Structure 1
Amino acid sequence: MRANQKRLIVTVVVFVVALLPLLIPHGSAPAGSSFIDKLAANIKLGLDIKGGALLEYQMLTDVSDQEMDALADRVIEVLRARLDAAGFTEATVEKVTTGISFGEDIPPVRVRVQIPGITDVSRAESLVGKTGRLYFADVLAIETSVSTPSIPAGMSLEISRRKLQGAEPYWVKELHYGEYVGGVQNNTWYFISPKVSIGSSYAELDGSVVTDAKPLVNNQPRPGQGRFMVSLKFSSEGAKTFRDITSVKSTYADTDMKKRLAIVLDDRVIIAPLVQSQISDGNAVIEGLNSIEEAKEVSILVGSGNLPVDL
Structure 2
Amino acid sequence: MSKNLTIKTVLVALVIIAALVCLVPTLGGKIPTWAESILPTEKIHLGLDLQGGMHLVLEVDVEKAVAAQVERNSQDLRREMQEERIRATRPEAGKGNTITLTLLSTKDQGKFDDLIKTQFSDYTLGTATSAEEGKVTYTLTLIPKAVAHIEEMAALQALEKIRNRVDEFGVAEPEIMPQADGRIMIQLPGIKDPQRAVALIGKTAQLTFKLVDDALSSGNPTKATLPPGTELNYEYRKDRASGRVSKTPIVLRKRALMTGDTITDAKVRTDSQFGTPYVSVSFDSRGARQFADLTSRNIKKRLAIVLDGKVQSAPVIQDAITGGQAVITGQFTMAEAKDLAVVLRSGALPAPVRILEERTVGPSLGQDSINQGLLSMVVGFGLVIVFVIVYYQISGLVANVALILNVFLIGAALAAFQASLTLPGIAGIILTIGMAVDANVLIFERIREELRLGKTPAAAIEAGYGKATLTILDANVTTLIAAVVLFQFGTGPIRGFAVTLSIGILSSLFTAIVVTKLIFEIALSKFSFKKLSI
TM-score, scaled relative to structure 1 = 0.71
Contact 1:144 1:187 (8 Å CA) reproduced: no
d(CA) in 2 for partners of 1:238, 1:282: 7
Find 1:184's aligned residue among 234, 244, 266: 244
Matched residue of 2:61: which SS? coil
Deviation at 1:9, TM superposition (A): 5.6
Equivalent in 286, 289, 294 of residue 328 of structure 2: 286
What residue is the counterpart of 2:289 in the other structure?
240
- Mapping of residues 129-140 of structure 1, within 5 Å: 129-140=202-213
Alignment map for 1:218-297 (pairs within 5 Å): 218=271, 220-221=272-273, 227-250=276-299, 252=300, 259-297=301-339
Task: Work out the CA distance in 2 between the residues paired with 1:298 and 1:143.
Answer: 30
Shift of 1:112: 1.3
Per the alignment, in what secondary structure is the counterpart of residue 188 of structure 2?
Answer: strand
Map 1:1-311 → 2, pairs under 5 A:
1=1, 7=8, 10-24=11-25, 42-61=43-62, 68-97=151-180, 107=181, 109-140=182-213, 141-142=216-217, 150-151=222-223, 159-160=227-228, 168-174=229-235, 182=242, 184-195=244-255, 204-218=257-271, 220-221=272-273, 227-250=276-299, 252=300, 259-311=301-353
- Residues 281-311 of structure 1: CA deviation (Å, up to 9, x unaligned): 1111112243221111111122211112221
Q: Classify the secondary structure of the residue corresponding to 1:240.
A: helix
Name the structure with the higher helix share: 2
Inter-partner Cα distance in structure 2 for 1:94 and 1:176: 39
Letter in 2 for 1:170: E
> What's the offset of the Cα at 1:73?
2.5
Query: Matched residues in 2 for 1:194 and 1:211: separation?
Result: 25
SS in 1 for 2:201: helix
Q: Is the 8 A contact 1:83 1:89 kept in 2?
A: no
Distance 2:237 2:185 in 1: 30
Change in Cα spacing, 1:67 to 1:275, as seen in structure 2 (3 Å) is closer
| Displacement of 1:170 | 1.9
Deviations 1:192-225, CA, capped at 9 Å, x for gaps: 22426xxxxxxx200112121111123x22xxx6
Provide the rounded CA distance (Å) in 2 between the counterparts of 1:227 and 1:144: 31
Deviation of 1:68 (Å)? 4.6
**Could you say if the C-alpha distance between residues 113 and 212 of structure 1 is closer, same or farther in structure 2, counting changes exceeding 3 Å?**
same
Pair 184,238 (structure 1): closer, same or farther in 2 beyond 3 Å? same
CA contact under 8 A between 2:277 and 2:332: conserved in structure 1?
Answer: yes
Whose radius of gyration is greater, 1 or 2?
A: 2
Distance 1:176 1:56, change over 3 A: farther
How many residues align? The count is 258
Matched residue type, 1:208: D
Question: Deviations for 1:149-182, whole angstroms, at most 9, x for unmatched residues?
Answer: 62486xx5xx33xxxxxxx3222334668x9961
SS at match of 1:187: strand
Separation (CA, whole Å) in 2 of partners of 1:309 and 1:41: 36
Between the aligned partners of 2:150 and 2:329, the Cα distance in structure 1 is 38
Q: Is the alpha carbon distance of 1:262 and 1:96 closer, same or farther for their aligned partners in structure 2, counting shifts above 3 Å?
A: same
Which residue type is aligned with residue 231 of structure 2? Answer: Y
Q: How high is the TM-score relative to the length of structure 2?
A: 0.43
Aligned partners of 2:313, 2:27: CA distance in 1, in Å? 43
Tell me what 1:35 maps to. none
Whether contact under 8 Å (1:138, 1:261) holds in the other structure is yes
Q: 1 or 2, which has the higher strand percentage?
A: 1
What amino acid is aligned across from residue 333 of structure 2 in structure 1? S
CA RMSD of aligned residues (A): 3.4
- Structure 2: runs of 5+ lacking an equivalent: 31-39, 67-146, 354-534
Q: Residues 226 and 289 of structure 1 are in contact (CA less than 8 Å); yes or no, is this contact kept in structure 2?
A: no
Q: 1:288 to 1:268 in 2, by over 3 A?
A: same
Matched residue, 2:103? none
Instruction: Name the CA shift for 1:267/1:41 in 2 (closer, same or farther; >3 Å).
Output: same
Runs of 4+ deviating beyond 6 Å = 2-6, 63-66
Q: Percent identity?
A: 32
Q: Distance in 2 between matches of 1:193 and 1:79?
A: 31
Distance across 1 between alignment mates of 2:234 and 2:262: 24
